[in-house]
Amino acid sequence: MRPATFVAYLVALIVWWQTCGFLFGGGSDAAHDAGPRTQLPARFAAASTQPTPQPAADAAVPGKNAASIAATQPAATQTHAAAAAASTPAPAAAASARAVSSAAVPGWAVGLHKEIALDNPACPSTRRPFHTLLTGQGSTYNGWQSRIMYYHWRKQRAADGACTEMTGFTRLCASEDGKPDPAAPYIPSVFVPALTSEHLAKYGHFGVLNRPHSVVEFFKRPEMVALIVEKYILLAETDHVFMQPMPNLVQDDPPRAAAHTFGYMHASPRHDSVVKYCWPEGDHTSLQPVGPSPLLIEKNLLQLVAVPWLNCSYILRGRPEPAQAIQDWVLEMWGYTIAAASLGIAHKVRIYIYIDR
């Protein structure tokens, strides 16, 4: 590379870095839309009082007879599930329920977007509101991505009008000790303790395990679950950007989640041994070429699949053989699709939910 070209590249890189810092950093909200900005209360700066839990799959021995990985769900999680279901408010009280519940949830930032009624009589009876649950981690880069994603969610929801099905939004962030991150004042967020570096080292420092881990931890906390009053959830990631308003694509009768199809998620006979590590009775014929994001699914089904998804992800990442049959960076996605198949959760496979560029 010529010196002049190299210098020009460095200048461009510095300009880009400074621009991102200005637009999406803590010092300026210029890139955000004109909605109210909530300062992070001092009480949120304290470490979470929740102890860092032992990962649900620590007891799972790679290759064990997991007949059904659903059976590895601990009784405590089942108790939490029942409590969460009982505490979930009716849709008619959605806005007030979120306001009350948010007071007990560290990290929640209120007033960042206008609440939209779930039971507006002026809307079609076929309307099915869903809540966007954005999973991420507490890094600076993830924080920038999350703010961009949230900005475009707000933009497309506003474009969709009062009867939009894109009603609620929560960022589920796995952070060190469950502490709020610098992006917390700008995005409605809840925090759970991330997996420690020492624990992740056992699985090749595969940080993506924080994704199913955070969903499991979310459903263990009734005060967090109660924030989602919608029946349906869109599980999304920080590098997603809404290009247009999104309808609810879930099928109700019979229930079928909606998910994007990925070319690298098509199973074949050579994957049968991988499937059986998590689901001895299963094989490739039962799997769908989907992952856990973008995923539109009933809230109760996401709660049902969360622990098996985490357990299977641990099993696949904890052995060398799966990475020989599957690209190792998508093993957590395979953990989801195997877990979903083992529970009989079916998906409407969609091609155009997501465009990967």
**Helix, coil or strand: residue 50:** coil
Choose among 229, 260, 234, 263: nearest CA to 246: 234
pTM for the full predicted model: 0.75
Burial class, 46, CB count within 10 angstroms (exposed 0-12 / middle 13-18 / buried 19+)? exposed
**Helix, coil or strand: residue 343:** coil
213-238 confidence digits (pLDDT tens):
999 999 999 999 999 999 999 999 99
Q: Any idea which residue has 């009280």 for tokens?
A: 93
Q: What is the DSSP string of 164-220?
A: -SEEEEEEEEEEGGG---TTGGGS-EEEEEPPPHHHHHTTTT-GGGHHHHHHHHHHT
Extended strands (E) in the chain:
130-137, 166-175, 189-193, 232-237, 257-261, 290-298, 347-350
Tokens of 341: 């198949």
In this prediction, residue 149 carries a pLDDT of 94
- Could you tell me how many residues make up the chain? 357
Instruction: Read off the pLDDT of each residue in 286-305 and give the average, rounded to a whole number.
Output: 95
Contact between 189 and 149 under an 8 Å Cβ cutoff? The reply is no
Contact between 342 and 301 under an 8 Å Cβ cutoff? The reply is no
Burial class, 88, CB count within 10 angstroms (exposed 0-12 / middle 13-18 / buried 19+)? buried
Beta strand 347-350 with 257-261 is parallel
Q: CA-to-CA distance for 168 and 165, rounded, in angstroms?
A: 9
Under CATH, which number does the domain 56-350 receive? 3.90.550
More confident call, 94 vs 206: 206
Tokens of 128: 């099915």
Is pLDDT of 24 > 80? no
Q: CA-to-CA distance for 198 and 204, rounded, in angstroms?
A: 10
Q: CA-to-CA distance for 133 and 233, rounded, in angstroms?
A: 7
94-146 confidence digits (pLDDT tens):
555 676 667 778 788 778 888 899 999 999 999 999 999 999 999 999 999 99
Which residue ranges make up each domain of the chain?
A: 1-31, 56-350
41-73 confidence digits (pLDDT tens):
332 222 232 333 333 433 333 333 333 333 333
Is pLDDT of 85 > 70? no
More confident call, 306 vs 56: 306
More confident call, 62 vs 327: 327
In this prediction, residue 350 carries a pLDDT of 77
In this prediction, residue 71 carries a pLDDT of 31
